[in-house]
Amino acid sequence: MNDFLDDFNRDKYSKSGRENVNRQSPSLDNTSGIPEDSSNEYFEKDPDSKKRRKKKVVLTIFIILIAVLLIAVALYNLNTVKLPNFVGGYAEQAQAWALGNNIYLEIEEVYDLESNRGVVISQQPAAGETALKGGSVSILVSKGPDPEERIVLPDFTFMELYQIEQWIAENRVDNVSINRVYDDTIPENRFIKKEFRDPAVSEDSYRRKDRIIITVSRGPEEVEKDIEVPDFRGKPEVEVIQWAESNSINLTIESAYSDTIQTGQVISQDIAPKTRIGRNVYFTVQVSKGKAVRVPSFSGMSREEAAIRAAAANVNISSIDRYHDSIGIGQLIDQSVRTGTFMEENHDPVILYYSLGRPFIPDFSGQSENDVLQAIASMNDKLAFLSIKLEYMHDARTPKGHVIFNSDAGTRIPTGSMVTIKISKGGQAVIGNYVNKLIQSEEMQAEISELESKGLKIAYEYAASSRPEGTILSQSINPGSQINTADHVLVLRIAD
């Protein structure tokens, strides 16, 4: 701008109409220093000076506007930022960018089948637009597929592995796992079975979050047949077990009776000796249980007859007695092992159940309550199925806790019947006023006899007194009291 002004001044003084200033040589006042002819000085006015001043002002304003504009642009650039494209990236990346650029990031999460969890689905404003620093930007973030969504399961029966994997990918069922196993009958990559990990889940209630294990065939396992099968016939069972374990053979042991092979030895095997097989092959042997013992029928036999029959058949027997409503005393009710069953030698005894007839109820009079309960329990152990009704009452003749009477005494009753038993609570008595009476008097002796007949025990204490000898001084039970005689003792204090 200085160069422009210099040129402007040069042009001013190069024109023909330049300003001529005719000055006479001023003479100076020796005292004031002001030229004496200063009032006679003349100036010539430039006719273009006004235009030049106007141009100068306009140029200055223009320069100021340009500067303001540049400052405004700079300030705008400092306070705005261009938005990148967040879509397809992860929300964490958008958060890091927003933090570094002083942008508040608003995040909304939704379930979305097409996007993984944490991936940005959309943004507002769009990529490429600008945003003020300190402002906000909104993004929509995927929560992944909805785990609660109900999924219709296809029929896997005729599907191959790639079709199952395709279904898993299309439906985003990440909790479905595939287990591949060897199978000799189902072709490779074909479906075998599916299993819900939660028993409460079914095909109709299956949701994306539920876990399924789908088993797919790997086809038959190709193994090297480098194991020769020995001849185990007549060999101990333990020898087969050891061989199978050391060679990873799936051994199955079956038991059978044999009249010629001893107990615990191999009778037969399902793979011929010297056959070469691979590991994990299934191998079955039959092991002897010894000679078979056939259980005979003991029906209609007495105990003695059954013992003879059992000895002849080499069968061990024992007997148990039970009550029965329809089968007579001493007759066979049943046997624990069915007729014709084969059993091993030295087997557990065959139990023969003999009848006791109907339960016989004795007369329990005078027996203690506990003894009666034990007797009924013993009968019930033999299937009498009796129930008891206990009734308690006062009886001076029967000691407390003992039987006064029982129903059906001396008879046989059906199983499952109820027996009523009456138990004594002891006698009762009303205590009179015996103080000041003579113990040896007929009246007192009769009273004492009556109390003792009701089961009341009476004790005597003698004490020195000025009263006549034999006078009752005090009694331990208050006169007029009604008591259970079995629960009390009357103490009479007598003058000595």
Its CATH architecture, for the domain 227-290, is 2-Layer Sandwich (3.30)
Rounded CA-CA distance 202/208 in Å is: 12
CB atoms within 10 A of CB 75: 10
Q: In the CATH hierarchy, which fold is given to the domain comprising 156-217?
A: Trypsin Inhibitor V; Chain A (3.30.10)
Higher pLDDT, 181 or 345: 181
pLDDT, tens digit (0-9, with 9 covering 90-100), for 78-89: 678 889 999 999
Q: In the CATH hierarchy, which fold is given to the domain comprising 293-355?
A: Trypsin Inhibitor V; Chain A (3.30.10)
pLDDT, tens digit (0-9, with 9 covering 90-100), for 416-464: 999 999 999 888 888 999 999 998 999 889 989 888 888 889 999 999 9
Domains 227-290 and 293-355 share a fold: yes
Of the CATH numbers 3.10.180.10, 3.40.640.10, 1.10.760.10, 3.30.10.20, which one belongs to the domain with range 83-142? 3.30.10.20
* Mean pLDDT, residues 301-307: 92
pLDDT, tens digit (0-9, with 9 covering 90-100), for 150-163: 999 999 999 999 99
pLDDT, tens digit (0-9, with 9 covering 90-100), for 66-118: 877 777 666 555 678 889 999 999 999 999 999 989 899 999 999 998 888 99
Distances (CA, A) of 410 to 56, 183, 413, 417: 151, 74, 10, 15
Of 176, 207, 206, whose CA–CA distance to 191 is shortest?
A: 176
pLDDT of residue 18: 43
- Residue ranges covered by each domain of the chain: 2-47, 83-142, 156-217, 227-290, 293-355, 362-424, 428-495
pLDDT of residue 23: 45
- Does the structural domain 428-495 have CATH classification 3.30.10.20? yes
pLDDT surpasses 70 at 472: yes
Q: Are 81 and 135 in contact (CB under 8 A)?
A: no
Categorize the per-residue pLDDT at 252 as very low, low, confident or very high, splitting at 50, 70 and 90: very high
Question: For residue 120, what are its two tokens?
Answer: 């940005």
Pairing of strands 212-217, 176-181: parallel
Its CATH architecture, for the domain 362-424, is 2-Layer Sandwich (3.30)
